[in-house]
Amino acid sequence: MKKYLLALLITVTFSHHLLAEVLTPQKVNESTFALIGEIGGRTFENQGLNANYGVIVTNDGVILIDSGASRNGAELINQQVQRLTGKKVRWVINTGSQDHRWLGNDYFLSQGAEVIALHKTVANQKQLALTQLDSVKAVLKDRFNGTKPAYAQKPINQNEAELNLGGTKVQIKYLNHAHFEGDVVVYLPQQNIMFSGDHIYVDRLLGVLPQSNATTWLDAFTKIESINPKVIVPGHGSICDLPKAKRQTGDYLKFLVDGTNKYAEDMAGVENAVKGLSNAPQFEKLANFNELHKGNISRAYLRLEAQ
């Protein structure tokens, strides 16, 4: 009997441990943490949590930045928050409308948390919900069960807002159309920490998707530079400072925008743009470069051409 219990205990502990490893906690300061996800794509194993999340401890509970790609994933995030802080998630702020930013909202609402987002972000979530449910379900299979889209109850109808949550000042700022329409950054002015959402990727190459706009994304990045955060929890990759964010996101966007503009002005065509810009040794070391770079050039070029 004792042996059986021990075996059971080991199994439970072990599976718990496996689940916990999807996200790696990193301390930013005494009251702020990041949960760092893998820098590759969404998989069944990583529960679609291939992104970063923020955890801010206040006097009245935890502020969570982004809610995961499914109900299951949200529960995992919540377990990690409990282990790190022992406190309840009171508020969830969505930095964007890509699946892993918000499809866990429903879970946190059911736990009594408030979901906070700008109206701009919610509008885009509503537009994309059906397609995202299909595409994430195809990856997560039965782990996606129970996931339902849910939105901030009182979306904020401005481009910027400053909130006081449990004594912590939190600014939500829309800067421009970046990776997705309605992406925002969350900034803690008292601590000079920024949760950049998908405005910033480090360690891996960013992805210009059909929904992205490289030109206005570069403008948004310039606005982040003028805010001048000391510490950045990027949307993807490890915690960084502004110079690293500039080298791996800002400079890459500038390379894409300047390069594709030149080809578009000459009406050189997308194939020539891709051929001419595919050599970019300064960014080759970033993960996913081979998979994403050429597609990024062609989507940046085609958006220019369409304008």
Nearer to Zn ion, 98 or 260 (CB): 98
Nearer to Zn ion, 61 or 104 (CB): 104
Round to the nearest angstrom and report the end-to-end CA distance of the chain. 72
Nearer to Zn ion, 170 or 200 (CB): 200
Minimal CA–CA distance to 222: which of 231, 210, 214, 212?
214
The two three-digit tokens of residue 109, written as one number: 């609402």
Residues 226-285 that bind Zn ion (CB under 5 A): none
Instruction: Select the residue interacting with Zn ion from 66, 99, 183, 198 (CB under 5 A).
Output: 198
| Least separation in angstroms between CB 206 and Zn ion | 9
Nearer to Zn ion, 98 or 124 (CB): 98
Site string for Zn ion, 43-62 (x = CB under 5 A): --------x-----------
Nearer to Zn ion, 98 or 296 (CB): 98
Nearer to Zn ion, 51 or 89 (CB): 51
Give the CB-nearest residue to Zn ion.
198
> What is the layout of strands, in order, in the sheet containing 193-201?
160-165, 168-174, 184-188, 193-201, 231-236
Work out the burial of residue 4: count CB atoms within 10 Å of its CB; fewer than 13 is exposed, 13-18 middle, 19 or more buried: exposed
Site string for Zn ion, 85-104 (x = CB under 5 A): -------------x------
Q: Is 181 in the site for Zn ion (CB under 5 A)?
A: no
| Least separation in angstroms between CB 275 and Zn ion | 28
| Least separation in angstroms between CB 106 and Zn ion | 19
Minimal CA–CA distance to 208: which of 85, 298, 274, 136?
298
Q: What is the total count of residues that contact Zn ion (CB under 5 A)?
A: 3
> What is the layout of strands, in order, in the sheet containing 32-36?
24-29, 32-36, 53-58, 61-65, 89-93, 114-116
Site string for Zn ion, 100-129 (x = CB under 5 A): ------------------------------
| Least separation in angstroms between CB 96 and Zn ion | 7
Task: Give me the DSSP letters along 53-101.
Answer: EEEEEETTEEEEE---SSHHHHHHHHHHHHHHH---EEEEE---SSHHH
- Residue numbers at the binding site for Zn ion (CB under 5 A): 51, 98, 198
